[in-house]
Chains A and B, each alone.
Chain A
């Protein structure tokens, strides 16, 4: 059981590496922002798998906080992209 979950954890970490490729390489600015958004969602999956493996529950708190911060950050970046002020 533990070895199999280890393999899945490594695959998940490798997938977030692929997102880093899109963040670095992306041809336009929105591509980089999409990469950051997807990276934030993948980190939550990594936190969940680690919490299964170590039997600790506080790692899920990190995941929830990461979701909310990524949500606020993405909304701010979207406002910046559409050229409006933040209070409109």
Chain B
């Protein structure tokens, strides 16, 4: 039982770290601010939720497990709302889209 629990913990942390690696590569390599935030926020949020789920599996029903269960929805909702507000502010600040973008629907919507 203990061995199985350790294996689930390691697998969940590995999934989370892989998601984080992909998100950070997107943060470094993509051309403009919108693409960077779109790649990084989703991947990193999901990866850190997976790591916190590993904490739940590792500690079971105890104080640390309860803290991790509380932390998962806080992280999920706060990071997505913050990303939405941040990208809205970026658009109003006047950052140009990259040359390779093909469509700008938000510009038509706010007119």
Show the binding face of A for B, using Cβ within 8 Å.
1, 4-5, 8, 11-12, 15, 18-19, 21-22, 28-31, 33-35, 37-38, 41-42, 44-45, 48-49, 51-52, 56-57, 60-61, 63-64, 67-68, 70-71, 74-75, 77-83
Q: How far is the CA of A4 from the CA of B9 in the complex (A)?
A: 11
Give bound CA distance, A14 to B67, whole Å.
26
Please report whether the interface of chain B is mostly helix, strand, loop or mixed according to DSSP: helix
- Contact: B71 with A67, CB < 8 Å? yes
Q: Across the interface, which residues of B come within 8 angstroms of A79, CB to CB?
A: 85, 89
- Structural contact, B89 and A81, CB atoms closer than 8 A: yes
Contact A45 B28 (CB under 8 A): no
Residues of chain B within 8 A (CB-CB) of A56 are 64
